[in-house]
Amino acid sequence: MTIPTAPTDAQLAAASWRTSSYSAANNECVEIAPVASWMCVRDSKDPSGPALTFTAPAFAAFVAEVKRTA
């Protein structure tokens, strides 16, 4: 399996970030954005800070497991 090249800082800055509809309006949540073959996650309190990047299949597996155990 070939892992795609991680998103660049410019791609992360241009990404369409969104928060969960369950999040409060006080910026204390995480935001996600799809960028190419990746799902990116960042802290809404620090949008210019670092982002975690996951391959789309790894992120989908994580979300499925959270839903399964919730």
pLDDT at 4 over 90: no
Domain boundaries, the chain: 9-69
pLDDT at 3: 76
Quick: pLDDT tens for 30-70.
Answer: 899 999 889 999 998 888 899 999 998 999 999 999 999 97
Q: Collect contacts of 11-16 with beta carbons under 8 A, ≥24 apart.
A: 11/35, 11/36, 12/40, 12/42, 12/51, 15/40
Q: Is this model's pTM higher than 0.85 or not?
A: no
45 contacts 20 by C-beta, under 8 angstroms:
no
Quick: pLDDT tens for 8-36.
Answer: 999 999 999 998 777 766 667 889 999 98
